[in-house]
A and B are shown apart, each in its own frame.
Chain A
Amino acid sequence: MDKPNFVYVTYIQTTAEKLWKALITPEFQRQYWFDIAFETDWRVGSNFVALSTDGTRGISGKVLEFDPPHRMSYTFIPKQAPKGSEHDTGSRVVMQLETLGAQVKLTVTHDHFAPGSTLIDSISQGWPAVLSGLKSLLETGKALEISGPCASKK
């Protein structure tokens, strides 16, 4: 059995249904995922491509599992494939949702990287930012709230 490369966990004060919606709805996704959204019908075996609002193509991949609102997985192919990995089928992302009282535990596992993949560095920077943005969006309605220290009350 392969050992996962990365495992990320965040606890979000929300319901599994709302979190699931935030994960698959482009308008939500853009707010926490560096302005990209997955274009796909989310059927198992369907391809997806991540597009930014200006139409720039980001990552792409194939839907492997889709079991709302519990578990999904997909392959993750970077925009610019590292040299020599043109035939690489991509690494794999698994998202698992688990309701714990008033919150949902979201576990993101990223594995199956090609040996010596240069993706690993950028992945380890990206996921924590995406997940804390997602948590913030669902709990406060804003992806990254940066308010002034002396915001005046109305």
Chain B
Amino acid sequence: MDTKDDTVFKALADSSRRQLLDRLYEKNGQTLRELCERMDMTRQAVTKHLRLLEAGNLVVTVWRGREKLHYLNPVPINEIADRWIAKYDRTHVQALDLLKKALEDNDNG
């Protein structure tokens, strides 16, 4: 069974889907029609990609009257960043710190 992270990584693992996220970053709250206008894809393909992005909670939708608006939801990306990147980033910083100490000790010795 897919974990939550898997759904997010899967949703991100496609350039068309990342492009859709970029479009929403530029202008949040677009309709399907607006999103299709600037994509070199069929309406069906955009719909399919949006469904996967929604499954990964990277896009959330809100109804305004009869219009369905799509919003970029970067919260899952932030969760992954906290879980994966911050962790390794710190290791990185510590490694540099140790290196710096070692070099400074050498200078003094």
Q: Which A positions have Cβ atoms within 8 angstroms of B?
A: 1, 3-11, 107, 109, 124, 127-129, 131-133, 135-136, 144-149
A interface secondary structure, majority: mixed
Closest B residue by C-beta to A7: B71
**Min CB gap A98→B, angstroms:** 13
How many residues from B make CB contacts under 8 Å with A?
24
Q: Could you say which of B64, B77, B82 contacts A136, with CB atoms under 8 Å apart?
A: B82
Q: Mark B residues whose CB is within 8 Å of A.
A: 4, 28-29, 57, 60, 62, 64-65, 69, 71, 73-79, 81-82, 86-88, 90-91
Pick from B65, B74, B91 the residue with the most CB of A within 10 Å. Answer: B74
Which of B62, B81, B82 has the largest count of A CB atoms less than 10 A from its CB?
B82
Residues of A within 8 A of B91 (CB): 148-149
Given A7-B62, A9-B60: A132 and B75 interface contact (C-beta under 8 Å): yes
Q: How many A-B residue pairs have CB under 8 A?
A: 67
Does B29 lie within 8 Å of A5, measured CB to CB? yes
Report the bound CA distance from A17 to B44 in whole Å: 41
Across the interface, B69 reaches (CB within 8 A) one of A3, A127, A147, namely: A3
Task: Show 15 A/B contacts (Cβ-Cβ < 8 Å), sorted by A.
Answer: A3-B64, A3-B69, A8-B71, A10-B75, A11-B57, A128-B78, A131-B75, A131-B78, A132-B81, A132-B82, A133-B82, A135-B79, A136-B82, A144-B82, A146-B87
By a CB distance below 8 angstroms, the chain A residues around B29 are 3-5, 7
Tell me which residues across on chain A come within 8 A of B79, comparing CB atoms.
10, 132, 135-136
Residues of A within 8 A of B64 (CB): 1, 3
Not counting A131-B78, A144-B82, a sample of 20 additional A-B residue pairs whose C-beta atoms are within 8 angstroms of each other reads A1-B64, A4-B71, A7-B73, A8-B73, A8-B74, A8-B75, A10-B57, A10-B79, A11-B4, A107-B60, A124-B74, A127-B75, A128-B75, A133-B82, A144-B86, A145-B82, A146-B87, A146-B90, A148-B90, A149-B87
Residues of B within 8 A of A107 (CB): 60
